[in-house]
A and B are shown apart, each in its own frame.
Chain A
Amino acid sequence: MSDTEMINKNKSRFSATAGRIMMFKETPLILVIAVAVIILTIIKPTFVVPGNIHSILLGSSFELIIAIGMTALFISGGFDLSVGSVAGFSGIMVGIMLSNDFGIGFSIIIGLLAATGVGLLNGLIIAKLKVNALITTLAMQSIVRGVIYVLTRGLGKPNLPDEFNVIARTSFFGIQTPIIITFVLMIIFGAIYAKSGFFRQYYFIGGSEEAARLSGIRVDRLRVGVYTFVGFMSGVSGLLMASRMGGAIPTSGQGMEMNVIAGCVIGGASLAGGEGTMFGTFLGILIMAIVVNAFNILGVNIYWQRLILGLILLVAVLGDTLRKNKMHKA
């Protein structure tokens, strides 16, 4: 082999590797985060201090836990707007139980059951009765929030027992428990989404419901399952929020669905179903959290924050749709 051939071969191997890295779906997201971090560090060196990074992760962990469920739902081609209300619901239920002197373990179970029950109800209505997912979960968002207000008469349940509050207020090796719980869950479910045979069925359902059905996949049952799972994860998130704050408030979780959905979509989950990864969602939520953090560091008016977050979501959905359209034209 001559030298030039060798060089060419090495070159092509290099470009192949570079191509592979670029082909890796999450690469653009990592680049966006890297660029954002560099720019923010230049503007405000305090951005990269461990304390700030820790607070970004802590702040996003409650959303990430819901997003674990939402990612699975997106992959199956589903959609849930009620997650914020459901998170609030589980927190309030725990608050009510605890303030009536029930045990912590029992109260937590009731809180999780309440959230899971709403998820199950969503799933049954959407998968079995074939009601539109958007409307069903929008209605459920309002219904559940209404139940919270009815149960509490609009008042929160403050001063929860320390034995409960300690759950989300402890740290190991300097890392707060919500972050640890979030990462453990993300790793477990990330592996399940990527590799388990059971979960692969959701990619098929999201890819083509009819083809999945004819392939012998129990579409309806699995759909009910994934909505129930989203309810459960929202419940876990709500519990941790209540524990972190040391009290359950009726407005807890309000508007959370927006950040969760935006994070999933930015992370590559498609509204059409069949696409999405745990890692992508993590990066998507992280981008949203960095943006919010940057707003706070830079002192951007709170009113502008919602506007810009909305724009980010719109751009992400637009990107997803345009990509899909282009693909279908080809």
Chain B
Amino acid sequence: MDIPIIETNGINKSYYGNRVLKNINFDLRKGEVLGLVGENGAGKSTLIKILSGVVKADSGSISIEGIHKETYDMKVAGESGISVVFQELSLANNLTVADNIFIGNFPQNKLGSIDKKKVHKQTTALLKQFNVDIQSNELVGDLTIGKRQIVEILKAVSKKPKVLILDEPTSSLEKNEIDILFTFIQSLRESGYSIIYITHFLEEVFTIVDRVFVLRDGNSVGVFDPDELNEKKLIELMINQSADQYMTYETRIKRDLQNFISIENLSKHGSFSDFNLHIKKGEIVGLAGVVGCGKDAVCKALAGVMSTNSGTIRINEKAVSVRNPVEALQNGIILLPENRKTEGLFLDQDVKNNIYASAIKKVSVNGWIKEKKVRALSEEFRRKMHIKLHSLGQEVRYLSGGNQQKILLAKCIAADPRLLIALDPTRGIDVKAKKDIHTIFSDLAQKGYSILMISSELEELLNVCDRVISMVDGKITAEFDREDFKLQDVLLSIHKA
């Protein structure tokens, strides 16, 4: 058998004592498409970062074409012909396809200026070689997202790598664009490139991938032949099944709840379409789906941060408009944004001044802010949410992520919303703070607040929510009530096209 292009042996990596990769062995063969799958946090991105030399492994070795690499960094990875095409495109929309492909690497003529003819010729040859229907002089900004993705890959190909690592290239593509991309990847394979293909969409594993490498919680589960698997089996490999079998989600007493908000046929071109959802008073609903499925967009549209093209939103049976955050708040809707540092908090202000930002009226008398009320309000939240502080006058910038997140939540709740839209409310915070926030959520629900949340961890949704809605490609594909929660089923539903 051929010598593998990449072979790793016992790769380990920890971040701050948290082991994200444990003893990873795998090999990439010449001319194959190796699928890399795993849940969020399984270690896929860390593994790619190690292979591209951006991050150094704590231990373990990497061999390229049978040669053991003593040190492995970005330079070695580049020299070994390993090229990563990231999910986010790095193209300049105002330049042509040819310029984008050769940017930073332009062929020069005798006078030392860019040889435009050569750029054009080489690009055309490249496009022809892989049978791509794009012209070299087209502006990248005029191309569809799918074709831009192909240009991005060609940019990597033009540097003649041996290995292409494609990080979720289809996450923002339409169905027909995916087909075009797949044909392109096929022709790359036929030309002898070895490809590591990372995907969230499991059916892709069965159409494009030769072998699939499964990661789970930083462990290698193994390499499998897709022909011997099906989607259900693959999901079972991705999640710790034994754990899930015994995992019972704490049952909740079902209360007779009134409807609060009805979302009818809400659509936004390119993000989601015909979205229908009712949320009851005191209900916690989770939106599940992979990156790019439209769940964030739905949340932002409901909070007035993103515009919509059509649809109706009714609150207590009355049609309302939420064209901006002010209108959303007037209707009792508030967003807990994803990025607490840039969208959520006022980092240079102290804790007490952050908490009333959406509720200035609450701490004012006749339009004047009353320090006593400010203090009382913050003190109340500090106590209720177990926010750890020396004083309420501490600047938010210097607090831990968990405390910051609690302050952000306090700021939202201080506005007395009736629907809290929480985007990944426990991202990057410690276990204790996370648990506190979950408790706060269920207390809020008990008091009649409605919550719509998304999370980068599916398990969190299942822990916290009364109901989980699955989205794929901007559409609702499944709905689960708490008594039917099963990690496999939900996972399967969000990975199905």
Residue positions of A touching B, CB distance < 8 A = 195-198, 200-201, 203-204, 207-208, 210-218, 274-275, 327, 330
Contacts and interface: CB of A to CB of B under 8 A. Distances in A.
B325 A213 contact: yes
A212 B367 contact: no
Q: Is the interface of B mostly helix, strand, loop or mixed?
A: mixed
Interface stretch (B2-10, B208-216, B346-354): B346-354
A218 B368 CA distance: 19
Given A198-B367, A274-B349, 5 more contacts: A214-B343, A215-B411, A216-B329, A274-B348, A275-B348
Interface of B: 303, 305, 325-326, 328-329, 334-335, 337, 342-349, 353, 357-358, 360-361, 363-364, 367-369, 397-398, 411, 415
A72 B142 CA distance: 44
Given A214-B305, A215-B325, A327-B397, A197 B361 contact: yes
B335 A214 contact: yes
- Among B348, B368, B411: residue with most chain A CB under 10 A: B348
B349 A216 contact: no
- Among A204, A212, A327: residue with most chain B CB under 10 A: A204
A27 to B, nearest CB: 17
Contacts of B398: 330
Contacts of B328: 216
A201 B363 CA distance: 13
B360 A211 contact: no
- Among B329, B360, B363, B369: residue with most chain A CB under 10 A: B360
B369 A211 contact: no
Contact of A216 (B334, B367, B397): B334
Contacts of B361: 197
Contact of B344 (A201, A203, A214, A274): A214
Nearest to B340: A211
A207 B348 CA distance: 7
A207 B349 contact: yes
A211 B346 contact: yes
Contacts of B364: 197
Given A197-B361, A211-B357, A216 B368 contact: no
A197 B344 contact: no
Contacts of A217: 326, 357
A195 B369 contact: yes
A197 B325 contact: no
Contacts of A197: 360-361, 363-364, 367-369
Contacts of A214: 303, 305, 325, 335, 337, 343-344
Given A207-B349, A216-B415, A274-B348, A200 B360 contact: yes
- Among A195, A197, A210, A274: residue with most chain B CB under 10 A: A197
Contact of A211 (B305, B345, B368): B345
A207 B344 CA distance: 11
Contacts of A218: 326
B357 A195 contact: no
A215 B358 contact: yes
A198 B397 CA distance: 24
A216 B326 contact: yes
B123 to A, nearest CB: 36
Which A-B residue pairs are the 4 nearest by beta carbons? A207-B346, A216-B329, A197-B364, A215-B358
Contacts of B343: 208, 210-211, 214
Nearest to A212: B357
Nearest to A213: B325
A211 B358 CA distance: 10
Contacts of B342: 208, 210-211
A79 B468 CA distance: 47
Contacts of A196: 367-369
A274 B353 CA distance: 12
A275 B348 CA distance: 9
A204 B367 contact: no
Nearest to A220: B324
Contacts of B353: 203
Contacts of A327: 348, 397
10 contacts: A196-B369, A197-B360, A197-B361, A198-B360, A211-B342, A212-B357, A215-B415, A216-B358, A274-B346, A275-B348
A201 B358 CA distance: 9
A195 B364 CA distance: 9
A168 to B, nearest CB: 32
Nearest to A274: B348
A174 to B, nearest CB: 34
Nearest to B412: A215
Nearest to A210: B343
Contacts of B415: 215-216
A18 to B, nearest CB: 18
